[in-house]
Amino acid sequence: MNNSTPILIFFTSIVIVLAVLMAVRAELTRGRGGKILAFVTLAILPSLTVWTGVHEQLERSTSTKFCLSCHVMHDFGQSLSLDDKAYIPAVHYQNNFVPRDHACFTCHTDYTMFGDYRAKWRGLHHVWVEYFGKIPQPADIKLYTPYNNRECLHCHAGARKYEEASSHHKNPDMLAQAASNKLSCLTADCHDSVHDVANLKDNTFWKGPN
Amino acid sequence: MAGNSIERRIRWSGLIIALGLIIQTGTLFWTHPLSFMAFLLIGCPLVAAGLLLYLYSLVSHQHPSGAESEAPR
């Protein structure tokens, strides 16, 4: 529940009361004032309420808590707390390189015009599988498409640490290749330690901020 | 009669919208994919149905003289 939720609940409650008033006292609409009240109560206010509700629900659906609420995602959530600096998701999560409240979404949305909506559509499919489909083992869950460098470069492009890292200049055109997605950031011997959920048991975990 | 008809539709409209909004309010207390689905698949359609019923009650309203209100062709 974020800061705007109590306001939205209060606003929605008022609209509910007005809608019920219209339902039990429909004869109010015989007068001019009643007609205006009915239009505001039954057309404008519900539309506004649903619009703000959609915004609120979409915002919530990007939260880490939301993503990890499905049981199959538990191990992926745990991998964010791995005490190993080689693990890219863990390093990003523990050092606030991504907002912790939106950790999954920040890296797994497409930074394109309709990327957010594509992510939501995939999310609906995931919910369907969670309740009506055959749930795969966490280790068997793969990305739909190979991870695109665009998602990394959304934050890292232009950053001094990224541009000047010696490991990014092993080849003269390494940065250019990464920018054009010809060389994956997650390629072997680079940043290939991502959610290795099949081998979590033998690791130690960060306890979290004090 | 026409007045009763429009008022009956407005009553139903108010009830359906209130029900949809109650479901919407309920989903705000729980951050979970099922809550999101309940909002999207139950709350929103109910509010939309109530709103459409209300708008239909307006366009289908007959004047007391019995002449039908002019509808777009």
Q: Average pLDDT for residues A113-135, to the nearest whole number?
A: 87
Report the residue from A19, A27, A56 with minimal CB separation from B7.
A27
Query: What are the residues whose beta carbons fall under 8 Å from the beta carbon of A102, sequence distance 6 or more?
Result: A62, A63, A64
Is B71 part of any domain? Answer: no
Going from N- to C-terminal start, the domains of chain A cover 5-60, 64-147+186-199
Alpha helices in chain A (DSSP H): 5-24, 32-39, 45-60, 64-68, 74-79, 88-94, 103-108, 115-132, 149-156, 160-164, 174-179
Q: How many CB atoms lie within 10 A of CB A139?
A: 13
Q: Average pLDDT for residues A59-82, to the nearest whole number?
A: 90
Is B9 part of any domain? Answer: yes
Q: How far is CA A119 from CA A49, A58, A84, B41, in A?
A: 24, 11, 28, 18
Is B52 part of any domain? Answer: yes
Is B26 part of any domain? Answer: yes
Q: In the Cβ-directed half-sphere of A84, how many Cα atoms lie within 13 Å?
A: 18
Cα–Cα distance, A14 to A8 (Å, whole number): 10
Interface test with B, best of A24, A50, A135 (most B CBs within 10 A): A50
In chain B, which residues have their Cβ closer than 8 Å to the Cβ of A124? 37
ipTM of this predicted structure: 0.82
In chain A, which residues have their Cβ closer than 8 Å to the Cβ of B33? 61, 66, 69-70, 123, 126-127, 130
Q: In the Cβ-directed half-sphere of A25, how many Cα atoms lie within 13 Å?
A: 12
Per residue in A143-194, pLDDT (tens digit) is 888 899 999 999 999 999 999 999 899 888 899 999 999 999 988 778 988 8
Q: What is the mean pLDDT of chain A?
A: 89
Instruction: Supply the range of the domain harboring residue B28.
Output: 2-59
Count of domains for chain B = 1
Is B44 part of any domain? Answer: yes
Q: Average pLDDT for residues A126-154, to the nearest whole number?
A: 89
Give the pLDDT score at B72.
Answer: 54
In chain A, which residues have their Cβ closer than 8 Å to the Cβ of B24? 12, 49-50, 53
Q: In the Cβ-directed half-sphere of A93, how many Cα atoms lie within 13 Å?
A: 28
Is B23 part of any domain? Answer: yes
Quote the minimal CA–CA distance from A60 to chain B in Å.
7
Per residue in A97-117, pLDDT (tens digit) is 999 999 999 999 888 888 888
Q: How confident is residue A201, by pLDDT bands cut at 50, 70 and 90?
A: confident
Contact state of B28 with A8 under an 8 Å Cβ cutoff:
yes
pTM, two decimals, is: 0.80
Per residue in B25-66, pLDDT (tens digit) is 999 999 888 999 899 999 999 999 999 999 999 888 766 665
Q: How confident is residue A138, by pLDDT bands cut at 50, 70 and 90?
A: confident
Is B67 part of any domain? Answer: no
In chain A, which residues have their Cβ closer than 8 Å to the Cβ of B28? 1, 5, 8-9, 12, 53, 56
Give the pLDDT score at A154.
Answer: 94
Is B6 part of any domain? Answer: yes
